[in-house]
Chain A
Amino acid sequence: DAGVIQSPRHEVTEMGQEVTLRCKPISGHDYLFWYRQTMMRGLELLIYFNNNVPIDDSGMPEDRFSAKMPNASFSTLKIQPSEPRDSAVYFCASSFLAGAHEQYFGPGTRLTVT
């Protein structure tokens, strides 16, 4: 298996623009997680899905952020409009079982908003 795939790997955009991050989880994994990592706040869980259904989005910072999982092999995280404080590395992770099982992380998308 290729592992968790994320695209793009790097994204530089201007404030106010829409940003869409993409993730393909490992085939057969029922759970998909979106994280954000910054030096100041560390690794934060934004939202997670189980069988394509959003279960907990309490970590989504505000209405500018939205996430979808239209099918078992694809998820998006959208920021509209983007702001400089959104600059971070965004990771997608998937797991076969939640919590008590290993989460496999993608390579991350480094987002810079100028």
Chain B
Amino acid sequence: QKEVEQNSGPLSVPEGAIASLNCTYSDRVSQSFFWYRQYSGKSPELIMSIYSNGDKEDGRFTAQLNKASQYVSLLIRDSQPSDSATYLCAVTTYSSASKIIFGSGTRLSIRP
């Protein structure tokens, strides 16, 4: 089992709709969770971090964490073509809080 799993996509969402990206992780005691966005040919950039159960909102983005289910998600409201990118879920491990383990990413495409 991979430490961080994501559906590779592509996930196609119409402009203006809500895009929902999901991620599961295997280390039950992971403590920090991140969503990075990566445009094609570019480097990853952090868009959300979440550390406790529940929802965290930042503009059009909402991160949701459920530690009991080992599940973290990212919702993008009012999706725009500029949101088309690969979204990487990342988790810190119990063995080393300094290491971030990345999922393989979900490719999101927003169709006009």
Which A residues form the contact surface with B (CB < 8 A)? 31, 42-45, 48, 50, 55-56, 91, 98-100, 102-103, 105-108
Residues of B within 8 A of A (CB): 31-32, 42-46, 49, 51, 88, 92, 96-105
- Specify which chain B residues have a CB less than 8 angstroms from the CB of A100 in the assembled complex: 31-32, 49, 51, 92, 97
Across the interface, which residues of B come within 8 angstroms of A91, CB to CB? 43-44
User: Which applies to chain A's interface (DSSP): helix, strand, loop or mixed?
Assistant: strand
| Chain A residues in 8 Å Cβ range of B101 | 45
Q: When the two chains form their complex, are residues B96 and A45 in contact, meaning their CB atoms are under 8 A apart? A: no
Known A42-B102, A99-B92: A105·B45 in contact at CB below 8 Å: yes
A43 and chain B: residue at smallest CB distance: B102
A98: chain B residues within 8 A (beta carbon): 97-98
Q: Shortest Cβ distance from B74 into chain A, in angstroms?
A: 16
Return the 8 tightest CB-CB contacts between A and B, nearest first: A98-B98, A105-B43, A42-B104, A99-B97, A43-B102, A99-B92, A102-B46, A100-B32
A-B contact count (CB 8 A): 49
Most A Cβ at <10 Å: residue of B43, B100, B101, B102? B43
The interface centre, meaning the residue of B98, B102, B103 with most chain A CB atoms within 10 A of its CB, is B98
Cβ-defined contact, B43 with A108, below 8 A: yes
Known contacts A42-B104, A42-B105, A100-B92; A106/B98 CB under 8 A = no
A48 touching B43, Cβ below 8 Å: no
> For B44, what are the chain A residues with a Cβ–Cβ distance below 8 Å?
43, 91, 105
Closest to B93 in A: A99
Alpha-carbon distance A40/B45, docked complex (angstroms):
21
Complex Cα spacing A42 to B43, Å = 13
Q: Which residues of chain A have C-beta atoms less than 8 A from B46's C-beta?
A: 102-103
